[in-house]
Chain A
């Protein structure tokens, strides 16, 4: 059984192995982002999106592209939505041009066309709001953990959160799914979840921390024991969340499926980071802090 294998793992001591594994994923993620693989939707830049649904005759993306009036086909991004639908994304259109494109698509493809258009001003607002929301979330979370636990825990949790955000965004870049407002929501939700996981482990470490002063060997052993006590719970919790998320990914239409994809990657990364990043990072930070204070003591003496 999984719990038997997990019982013998040294979570804290073998941090180099866990960090290396994460580093590999982070490298892939950052590489994908750096190569400009992120596929931004209209939410942040402004533009129009035409969702064509219920097409008959299963046309190709090229046919959908050709159905666009004028030379719009060259600038448009056409994504197939399964058998009978397309998402077509264009840059910002002029007044009334939305209607023209909609009517052209409806006529050429014989389908229902739904339109979303966002002005560049609004796109800028959404972008600012999204960045504010992520920044606010991170700051409030650090404060929250510092109050409920201590600053060392906040630092370790933060590291785990950054890890999760990078990997989520990186995988998004890797598979080329559209980044939009929903992605930001997903990232924030992942933050909440990953933090929840981390808190459950930290809560146990706090509960098990002996009254006696800090000692690295003792702290690491205690942290390992604490993780062992809650690791099955962490995994079960993730499974409980991942089951409905996977259902969204499989059955949901494009918006829900994009959202679920971000959550799937983020929650998986979050479970890993709570166990294999947050706890070892806490141990390392504690050790470093202890080393510094003892040096200070030595200097003053």
Chain B
């Protein structure tokens, strides 16, 4: 019969697969680095951001891809290892940074639009008396009302933006309001580079150098400011506003046209830019603006201790559960149970190999998926073994029973596993982040378990139930009494029909 040869071929294939898995787990790299761990097990920051447009229009996939690119450059400039940046759905991006726990800085840096613009100032208000921090909003409201009455203000054509300068040592905040055109005359893409530097007084600032074309645009803008100031009878009093993300960062007076020059963002009133602000500006200006605005949806920071605890408890749970299932199968199914145990061990090893080879990042929900898939894998064996026992009770020889059990049990397993796969796919399609880890591992586990239960267990059983072994009914956990009573029941059932 060809089936015994088929069994040997399947077992040979399994040995090869185990070899491949062993290569991926143990030999390609150190075994401790083999499995890629998620942030919830390793510690780090994970942020989920959603892109949106100021005017409410739809965010396109291309814009998000550009944004992801810019975010990657910014995260890289933080100097962290292996950040992970993924687009999710139409307009979301997930940023995972292992090992970093300074959430605020990381998130601020990632999510800052960094839209830079240079404007001609049309009207100014405020900017004299410093006020305490809690009064800033009230002052802004007053300034807005004042500027809306200014002849330079035209609804739709212009906008009102504010500059806040915090004085050192609790000296309060100076608030100025500006009427600016709706669109900037020169944009951030005119920049060639941005670097931190110190001015003559040794105060920290960020210097921006224009590209050749950008320099010309900036020169034209400065010329216009000078000309308009002259026309208005206030020569030398024209102001330029440097705006970053809706905030005026500085508004220097321009008394002559500047071509091909350098512009800097500084804060002389407050003793220069704070160190972290200067670094951040350098990074966001250097990497360019995000094509969309970003809203932070969720931020998770996991400490390394918590991650390690979670990993340890998850592993203990998985191993204890796995061990008990192995024991249970042997108690109930005797020799068949041993075969199933061997198949389950092969399953577990191949699953690990797959996780390393693909690679799948293991997260806490992922561990739950693996644990559940152990149940699924064991169950496929149970379904088939119960069938085999049933056939033996009906008086079939163990060998025939194995063949019949597989034929009939397979349909039930297929239907059952399909429902689990459907659940996994729905979870994957309709969820984000961590839940996906669960869905992926459950699905991979279910598919692999079909292979081990149907191919591996079958081949092993084929060998065991072969002529040389002499598998008896008692060895698979069927008592003589139940064989007799099953026969009686079959007769009864025939009668009922």
Contact = CB atoms under 8 A, between A and B. Distances in A.
Interface of A: 3, 51, 53-54, 96, 98-99, 102, 112-119, 121-122, 125-126, 129, 132-133, 136-137, 140-141, 144, 148, 181-182, 185, 188-189, 191-193, 195-196, 199-200, 203, 210, 218, 221-222, 225, 229-230, 232-233, 236-237, 239-248, 250-253, 255-256, 259-260, 263
A160 B336 CA distance: 32
A201 to B, nearest CB: 10
B86 to A, nearest CB: 16
A147 to B, nearest CB: 11
B446 to A, nearest CB: 10
Interface string B43-82: 0000010100000000000000000000000000000000
Nearest to B40: A255
The interface residues of chain B, by DSSP majority, are classed as helix
Nearest to B374: A244
Contacts of B302: 114
Contacts of A196: 379, 415-417, 419-420
B368 interface: yes
A185 B365 contact: yes
Contacts of B386: 230, 232-233, 236
20 contacts: A117-B298, A122-B298, A126-B432, A133-B426, A133-B427, A185-B435, A192-B423, A225-B489, A232-B386, A233-B382, A233-B383, A236-B332, A240-B325, A243-B325, A243-B375, A244-B324, A245-B375, A248-B321, A255-B365, A259-B365
A210 B415 CA distance: 22
A132 B368 contact: no
A251 B313 contact: yes
Contact of B411 (A113, A203, A240, A255): A203
Nearest to A53: B306
Interface size range on B against A: 35 or more
A52 B225 CA distance: 57
B185 interface: no
A118 to B, nearest CB: 4
A69 to B, nearest CB: 16
A115 B301 CA distance: 5
- Kindly list the 10 A-B residue pairs having the minimum CB-CB distance in the complex, ordered from nearest: A244-B321, A241-B375, A247-B321, A192-B423, A122-B297, A112-B303, A251-B317, A233-B386, A196-B416, A240-B378
B352 interface: no
Residue in A144, A185, A232 whose Cβ sees the most chain B Cβ within 10 Å: A185
Please classify the interface of chain A as helix (H, G, I), strand (E, B), loop, or mixed, using the class held by over half of its residues.
helix
B145 interface: no
B426 to A, nearest CB: 5
Given A185-B365, A237-B379, A237-B383, 19 more contacts: A112-B304, A117-B300, A133-B426, A137-B423, A182-B435, A188-B423, A192-B422, A196-B419, A199-B415, A210-B497, A225-B496, A236-B386, A237-B382, A240-B325, A243-B324, A244-B324, A251-B320, A253-B309, A259-B365
Interface in B285-324: 295-306, 309-310, 313-314, 316-318, 320-322, 324
A94 to B, nearest CB: 13
A200 B416 contact: yes
Contact of B297 (A119, A236, A245, A248): A119
Interface in B121-169: none
A229 B412 CA distance: 14
Most buried by B among A117, A191, A247, A253: A247
